[in-house]
């Protein structure tokens, strides 16, 4: 049985935040210790049951993509080691393999979502309006159809327990300014295209994904948080992809599909998950890691 970490306790560092999945600690004035726990959120609600090993999987996948994409966009990983930040072996063991030391940057107030396929809230939007986030699409598209071209459909970032809100590009320009908004859109679409091609060669379709960015002290755009993980993306097995249905997945969409069968209003507290759903979800995360990174 894999170790399970629902919540961290590190006395030697100030705790800044407990997010839906991550516990974030202050390291001096310029750095953060970002620990990815095994907590799972769905519909922006943190569920009571963790997924064993999930935090380690997400950390390994993010590190893989940060390294692969670093020539396209800088990232927030710092040169500090975990031993330097947590000299106490007991504290270090708690977060080993789940922690990243990152530069403390100013996060942008939008989440950069790229959609390559018509699914999730985009599919619901299209059914109601013929558009996705104000972007008009051809008539007659089916659920899970590949879009004519990937769409940049940002949202505002929600607090824990709140739902993210889709915004149009004009609102993105209002929040970021036209130059920065254009840069975020261009970079997001470029790294999605790179990642989607790489993953497809390994039997995974990246249906959509969410990027987060910050600005460094020189005002340069930096990729932060997590990147192209099963928590921030929809991963589908290419050999089981069929338009017209919600495909099976390597990500937490499996849990979302289960939750949709329940009489739950998608507000806290979240429902308990059956052991079989927990086990199969953990397997899906590990399979995504193996296919993408060759590890795990």
Structure letter (DSSP) for residue 238 = G
Domain 106-251: assigned CATH number:
3.30.470.20
End-to-end CA distance of the chain: 14
Omega cis (within 30) before 201: no
Task: Specify the pLDDT at position 1.
Answer: 41
Tell me which H or E stretch contains 82. Answer: helix 82-85
pLDDT score for 157: 74
Task: Give the architecture (CATH level 2) of 15-103.
Answer: 2-Layer Sandwich (3.30)
Three-state secondary structure readout of 180-225: HHHHHHHHHHHHHHHHHHHHHCCCEEEEEEEEEEEECCCCCEEEEC
Token match 């380690």: residue?
A: 56
> pTM score, two decimals?
0.92
Mean pLDDT for back-to-back runs of 10 residues, the chain (296 residues): 85 95 97 98 93 96 97 96 96 96 96 96 95 94 98 82 77 96 98 98 97 96 96 94 92 86 95 96 94 90
pLDDT of the residue at 2: 58
Phi (first) and psi of residue 171, to 5 degrees = -70, -35
Domain residue extents for the chain: 15-103, 106-251
């Amino acid at each position: 049985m894999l170790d399970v970490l629902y919540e961290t306790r590190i006395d030697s560092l100030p705790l800044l935040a407990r997010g839906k999945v991550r516990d974030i600690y202050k390291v001096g004035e310029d750095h953060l210790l970002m620990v990815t726990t095994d907590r799972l959120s769905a519909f922006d609600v943190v569920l009571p049951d963790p997924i064993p090993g999930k935090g380690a999987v997400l950390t390994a996948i993010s590190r893989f993509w940060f390294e692969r994409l670093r020539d396209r966009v800088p990232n927030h990983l710092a040169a500090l080691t975990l031993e330097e930040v947590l000299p106490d072996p007991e504290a270090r063991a708690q977060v080993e393999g789940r922690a990243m030391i990152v530069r403390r940057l100013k996060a942008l107030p939008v989440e950069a979502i790229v959609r390559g396929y018509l699914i999730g809230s985009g599919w619901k939007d299209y059914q109601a309006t013929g558009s996705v986030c104000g972007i008009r699409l051809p008539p007659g598209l089916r659920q899970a159809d590949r879009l004519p071209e990937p769409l940049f459909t940002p949202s505002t970032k929600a607090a824990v327990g709140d739902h993210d809100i889709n915004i149009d590009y004009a609102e993105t320009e209002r929040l970021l300014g036209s130059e920065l908004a254009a840069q975020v859109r261009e970079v997001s679409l470029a790294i999605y295209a790179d990642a989607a091609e790489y993953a497809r060669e390994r039997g995974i379709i990246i249906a959509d994904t969410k990027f987060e960015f910050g600005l460094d002290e020189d005002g340069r755009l930096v990729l932060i948080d997590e990147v192209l993980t099963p928590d921030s993306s929809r991963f589908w097995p290419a050999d089981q992809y069929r338009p017209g249905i919600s495909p099976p997945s390597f990500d937490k969409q499996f849990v979302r599909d289960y939750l949709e069968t329940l009489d739950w209003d998608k507000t806290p507290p979240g429902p308990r998950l059956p052991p079989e759903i927990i086990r199969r979800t953990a397997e899906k995360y590990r399979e995504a890691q193996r296919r993408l990174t060759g590890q795990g």
